[in-house]
């Protein structure tokens, strides 16, 4: 669509939503300052103590609008089969009627903002463009951080660049059909009528009723993953829920690793890892989304399309992620964390003891018996440029060559600390069978185990069986030598007493070291039914208080429990019917065969 098409589309949305005014955003610093001023005046932002937290703000959402709403997220493909069994589907024409009815007059009394944005460096061949229309100044401020909002995007569109139209409304007009005015609130939303809708064939996004970032910042999960995954399928690349890092060894050799973990399972911590072992260095290229494309030589190149970090606050501390703490010392938007009496922020895990005089995330004086002071899914949002561990090549237009891909989730049992796949096909099987304990990042019972293939269950914009097949085809179109090696990791395995067997956080650098040594051929590992694990003595444990018993438990492959896992996986695969790629069925059968003849010890 051309620039003329864009202007016509903006006019059509304005005619439908009937805002008081229309403001085209240019991405300037002055624009962001005026939006922040407006948000403070509206009561949406609380300005934090500038001596403690310069240019930083706290937002409190409506308590009913605190997370992504997966049951209200729809993939409205022309065919229900194209959406697949893991997505909510509605016939597109029915949904369009519903959206028109919902959006009719939805912006009365409000300003309609038009946000031209880029996912990726403007001008890069890997970049995708979008234009989000919203009536939420919070969205404008957050999009300034999370994407590249710029008038230069309009120049790219004028030159013929494709762009994704995205429409968002909080669903709370200030003037009704009769002209009666309603007083605004600090966090407008319509939580009883939330829709996050994607039309894959026409590359459109419509979001209604929620102001929360995962539902309203439409460049993130909606464009970069749900619509992005469809673009990737059609154009021969991958849009993935992954972090991206550069690892430099003591010999100054550089490697690039991506990793897919479900939300709130440690992506940001690994993305900003500060190794505990001497001589190793990790630099951040991205913490949440990675686009992967093959180059002319068949090597896969990766890029982070985002411009900021939107991380989970609880559990983040100087001990778990000191780089994140340092990076949010200024220019940060916090959402649903607690407020200290001296105008700073706090959340569970930031310190062992909560400071006195806290105001909780709902705005009430907090006492310890009232539950968490910060919402479990409370967030921090800051620009990539803040990141103290940022890699200087993070905006490299052509991306970086990918050497390894990691898959992982929260598993208290079964899954070993680290295992290398036997092949690309086996690695795809690893990704397809990720399961993780439910976290607070999405609605649902916390702690329940659920399948989350490639950590993409809420984000794949088409039939996941076809998605598995697309991953397999990426391997078939290249040579084994050119492809990244695939590993599975699990920092969360527990012992019989319920304690974590692995210290995690900075010590995960020891696992990264083993992975790099695998890439360099410095260690051989031991073949197990689930993959190649470190042989005895290969994992660097110098100075680490991990007992031999805990180490054995970290890598134990129990036949009985894994046999149950095989049957669970078979039942999960059955849900995809005949569309499930045959290669994954073969990998499941191979796993079952290896379990029956499994190697009894890592020391063999």
Q: Who wins on pLDDT, 600 or 453? A: 453
Q: Is the model's pLDDT at 600 over the cut of 70?
A: no
Pairing of strands 111-119, 21-24: parallel
Q: Is the model's pLDDT at 604 over the cut of 50?
A: no
Q: Per residue in 260-281, pLDDT tens?
A: 998 768 899 999 999 999 999 9
Confidence of residue 446 (pLDDT cuts 50, 70, 90): very low
300 phi and psi angles, rounded to 5 deg: -90, 130
Under 8 Å between Cβ of 233 and 273: no
Q: Which residues contact 497 (CB under 8 A, 6 or more apart)?
A: none
Assign 379 to helix, strand or coil. Answer: strand
Does the structural domain 240-305+393-596 have CATH classification 3.50.50.60? Answer: no
The CATH T-level fold of domain 309-386 is Phosphoenolpyruvate Carboxykinase; domain 2 (2.170.8)
Q: Which residues contact 262 (CB under 8 A, 6 or more apart)?
A: 409, 410, 434, 436, 439, 441, 452, 455, 457
- pLDDT above 90 coverage of the chain, percent: 91
What pLDDT score does 266 carry?
85
In angstroms, the Cα distances linking 454 to 65, 186, 242, 486, 505 are: 26, 37, 9, 12, 21
The question of whether 265 is a catalytic residue gets the answer yes
Among 44-48, 310-314, 357-361, the range scoring the smallest mean pLDDT is 310-314
Q: Is the model's pLDDT at 448 over the cut of 80?
A: no
Q: Which tokens is 479 given?
A: 């040579």
Under 8 Å between Cβ of 462 and 200: yes
What pLDDT score does 340 carry?
98
As a whole number, mean pLDDT of residues 298-305 equals 96
The model's pTM: 0.95
Q: Taking Cα atoms as reference points, which of 189, 187, 145 lies closest to residue 169? A: 189
Q: Per residue in 406-426, pLDDT tens?
A: 999 999 989 999 999 999 999
Q: Which tokens is 559 given?
A: 């036949």
What pLDDT score does 445 carry?
52
Residue from 265, 381, 391, 460 carrying the catalytic annotation: 265
- The CATH architecture assigned to 3-44+66-236 reads 3-Layer(aba) Sandwich (3.40)
> Hey, which residues does 300 pair with through a beta bridge?
294
Among 59-63, 439-443, 449-453, 478-482, the range scoring the smallest mean pLDDT is 439-443
What pLDDT score does 601 carry?
52
Provide the angle, in degrees to the nearest 10, between the axes of the packed helices 424-432 and 464-476: 160
What pLDDT score does 265 carry?
80
User: Domain boundaries in the chain?
Assistant: 3-44+66-236, 240-305+393-596, 309-386
- pLDDT above 70 coverage of the chain, percent: 97
Handedness of CA 36, 28, 386, 401 (dihedral sign): positive
Q: Per residue in 317-373, pLDDT tens?
A: 999 999 999 999 999 999 999 999 999 999 999 999 999 999 999 999 999 999 999
Confidence of residue 178 (pLDDT cuts 50, 70, 90): confident
Mean pLDDT, rounded, of the chain: 95
Q: Which residues contact 295 (CB under 8 A, 6 or more apart)?
A: 301, 398, 401
As a whole number, mean pLDDT of residues 79-92 equals 97
Q: Who wins on pLDDT, 535 or 443? A: 535
What pLDDT score does 477 carry?
84
Confidence of residue 602 (pLDDT cuts 50, 70, 90): low
As a whole number, mean pLDDT of residues 576-590 equals 97
Confidence of residue 436 (pLDDT cuts 50, 70, 90): confident
């Amino acid at each position: 669509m051309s620039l003329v098409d864009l202007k016509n589309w903006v006019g059509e949305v304005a005619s439908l939503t009937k805002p008081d005014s229309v403001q085209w955003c240019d991405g300037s610093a002055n624009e962001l300052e005026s939006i922040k001023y407006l948000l403070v005046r509206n009561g949406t932002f609380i300005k934090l103590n500038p001596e403690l937290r310069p240019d930083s703000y706290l937002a409190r959402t409506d308590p009913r609008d605190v997370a992504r709403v997966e049951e209200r997220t729809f993939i409205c493909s022309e065919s229900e089969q194209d959406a697949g069994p893991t997505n909510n589907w509605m016939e597109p024409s029915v949904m369009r009627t519903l959206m028109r009815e919902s959006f009719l007059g939805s912006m009365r009394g409000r300003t309609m903002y038009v946000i031209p944005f880029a996912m990726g460096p403007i001008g890069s061949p890997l970049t995708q463009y979008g234009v989000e229309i919203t009536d939420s100044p919070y969205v404008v401020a957050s999009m300034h951080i999370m994407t590249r909002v710029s008038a230069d995007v309009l120049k790219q569109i004028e030159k013929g660049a494709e762009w994704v139209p995205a429409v968002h409304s909080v669903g709370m007009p200030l003037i009704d059909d009769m002209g009666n005015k309603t007083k605004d609130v600090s966090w407008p939303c319509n939580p009883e009528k939330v829709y996050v809708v994607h039309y894959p064939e026409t590359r459109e996004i419509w979001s209604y009723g929620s102001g929360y970032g995962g539902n309203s910042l439409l460049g993130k999960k909606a464009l970069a993953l749900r619509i992005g995954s469809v673009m990737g399928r059609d154009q021969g690349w991958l849009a993935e829920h992954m972090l991206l890092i550069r690892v430099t060894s003591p010999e100054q050799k550089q490697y690039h690793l991506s990793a897919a973990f479900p939300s709130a399972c440690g992506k940001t911590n690994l993305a900003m890892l500060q190794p505990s072992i001497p001589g190793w260095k990790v630099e951040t290229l991205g913490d949440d989304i990675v686009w992967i494309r093959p180059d002319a030589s068949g090597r896969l190149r990766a890029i982070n399309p985002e411009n900021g970090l939107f991380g989970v606050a609880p559990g983040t501390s100087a001990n778990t992620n000191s780089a994140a703490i340092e990076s949010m010392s200024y220019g940060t938007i916090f959402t649903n964390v607690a407020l200290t009496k001296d105008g700073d922020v706090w959340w569970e895990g930031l310190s062992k003891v909560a400071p006195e005089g806290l105001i909780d995330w709902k705005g009430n004086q907090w006492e310890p018996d009232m539950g968490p002071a910060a919402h479990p899914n409370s967030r921090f949002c800051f620009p990539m440029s803040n990141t103290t561990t940022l890699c200087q090549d993070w905006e490299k237009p052509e991306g970086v060559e990918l050497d390894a891909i990691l898959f992982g989730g929260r598993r208290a049992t079964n899954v070993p600390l680290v295992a290398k796949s036997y092949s690309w096909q086996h690695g795809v099987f690893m990704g397809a069978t990720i399961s993780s304990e439910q976290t607070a990042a999405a609605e649902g019972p916390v702690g329940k185990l659920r399948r989350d293939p490639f950590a993409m269950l809420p984000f794949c914009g088409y039939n996941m069986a076809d998605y598995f097949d697309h991953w397999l085809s990426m391997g078939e179109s290249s040579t084994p030598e050119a492809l990244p090696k695939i590993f599975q990791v699990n920092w969360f395995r527990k012992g019989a007493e319920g304690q974590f067997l692995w210290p995690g956080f900075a010590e995960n650098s020891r696992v990264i070291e083993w992975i790099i040594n695998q890439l360099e051929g410095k260690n051989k590992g031991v073949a197990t039914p689930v993959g190649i694990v470190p042989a005895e003595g290969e994992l660097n444990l110098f100075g680490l208080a991990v007992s031999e018993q805990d180490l054995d438990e970290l890598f134990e492959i129990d036949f009985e429990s894994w046999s149950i896992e095989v049957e669970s996986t078979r039942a999960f695969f059955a849900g995809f019917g005949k569309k499930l790629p045959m290669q994954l069925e073969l990998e499941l059968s191979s796993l079952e065969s290896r379990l029956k003849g499994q190697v009894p010890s890592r020391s063999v």
